[in-house]
Amino acid sequence: MRNFWSILSAYLAAWAIFFVYSATVGRRLTRLEEELRRLKSRTGRDE
Amino acid sequence: MMLGKAAWNLAWWAVAIGLGFAGYAIFFIAPRELTMGSIQRIFYFHAATGISAYLCFFLSFLASIGYLASRQPRWDWMAVSTAEVGLAFDTVVLITGPIWAKPVWGTWWVWDARLTLAFIVELLYIAYLLLRRLSTEMDRRGMISAVFGIFAFLDVPLAYFSVRWWRTEHPGPVIAGGPNSGLDPRMWHVFAFTWLALLALMILMIRDRYRLEAMRQTVSEWKAEEELGVEMAEGKEVTQ
């Protein structure tokens, strides 16, 4: 297939951006969930 | 009805499988384009991602209007979530485009109307996200970003319609582009499937980003309440 490496690099770049972005959001969510749990246990609230 | 965590995990898996199948369809089901050859296969991702990005920016524009009209924080959360996800999609467009352009045009980039306006869209939404960091006060931040979000969106229709309005190096629209445009039915099916899979991915990303913003708000409220409680307790001790 001609231009195989161009096609492959385009798809890999797209996947990498989506993956890195989703992972960043996921990591930020986990951090906030932990913080919420900590606050909840300190204040003893049910939410 | 709210979906449970398991249902959302299932949705992520379904989207991953859908995108995997879209990749298979792009390489093995879609026919080879006669003029450009195999490099045209980038089109399925490039165009579908571009439409999704502009859809995100349109949603951000609507949410910004919603915030200005109601001052409800949820509109601000929706505006920033759709803008950020749109920016991720738009970055994919700006990277896959030059990779496609190099073998076809002989150059990575030209400053024609479409590419220049698309680049400005990217810069405007980066500016939108940076602007939000300048203020920590919720209402002020919401107001400034809503006004800027509306202003930023003005470039999106310009970029989208630039290939119809001006002669550009970037090709004209192949979908709904008039009598000389169109796709082979197999190409169209592959494109439609890829776009649906990317739309589903976009929805899941927006949902997660929105949840993040809502949770951030809850955390800052609880922290403020906790600090107030500590201050009151300390005040009590002083008066005793």
Does residue B45 lie within any of the structural domains? yes
Cα B177 to Cα B39, B128, B174, distances in angstroms: 22, 31, 5
Domain contains B185: no
Of A23-37, B162-176, B196-210, which range is least confident?
B162-176
Q: What is the pLDDT of residues B195-219, one digit of tens each?
A: 999 999 999 999 999 999 999 999 9
Residue to substitute from A4, A12, A19, A25, interface B, most B β-carbons within 10 A: A25
Q: Which residue has the higher pLDDT, B228 or B93?
A: B93
Residue B176 clears pLDDT 70, i.e. is over it: no
Query: Which pLDDT does position B124 carry in this prediction?
Result: 97
* A interface residues, B as partner, C-beta within 8 Å: 1-4, 6-7, 9-11, 13-14, 17-18, 21-22, 25-26, 28-29, 32-33, 35-36, 39-40, 42-43, 45
Answer whether residue B203 is part of any domain.
no
Check: CB of residue B223 under 8 Å from CB of residue A45: no
Report whether pLDDT(A47) > 90.
no
Question: Chain A closest CA to B73's CA: distance in Å?
Answer: 18
Domain boundaries, chain A: 12-47
Q: Would you state the pLDDT for residue A46? A: 59
Interface test with B, best of A12, A15, A32, A37 (most B CBs within 10 A): A32
Is B114 inside a domain boundary? yes
> Quick one: average pLDDT of A11-39?
93
Provide the mean pLDDT of chain B: 89
Q: Residue B106 belongs to what domain range?
A: 37-171
Contact A14 B209 (CB under 8 A): no
Distance set, CA B13 to CA A17, B4, B20, B168 (Å): 18, 15, 10, 40
* ipTM score of complex: 0.88
B75-104: average pLDDT:
95
Q: For the whole model, what pTM was predicted? A: 0.89
pLDDT band, residue B222 (cuts 50/70/90):
confident
pLDDT at B174 over 80: no
Chain B residues near residue A14 by CB distance under 8 angstroms: 45, 49, 92, 95-96
Three-state secondary-structure class, residue B31: coil
As for how many domains chain B has, the answer is 1
pLDDT of residue B180: 65
Given this model, what pLDDT does residue B240 score? 47
Give the mean pLDDT of A17-33. Answer: 94
CA distance B197 to chain A (A): 13
Say which DSSP state B40 is in: G
Angle, helices B42-70/A4-43, rounded to nearest 10 degrees: 30
Lowest-confidence segment of A16-30, B76-90, B202-216, B221-235 by average pLDDT:
B221-235
Q: Is B108 helix (H, G, I), strand (E, B) or coil?
A: coil
pLDDT digits (tens, 9 = 90+) for B95-132: 999 999 998 889 999 898 899 999 999 999 999 999 99
Distance CA B214, CA B145 (A): 17
What is the pLDDT, as a whole number, of residue B213? 93
Residue of A nearest to B20 (CA): A15
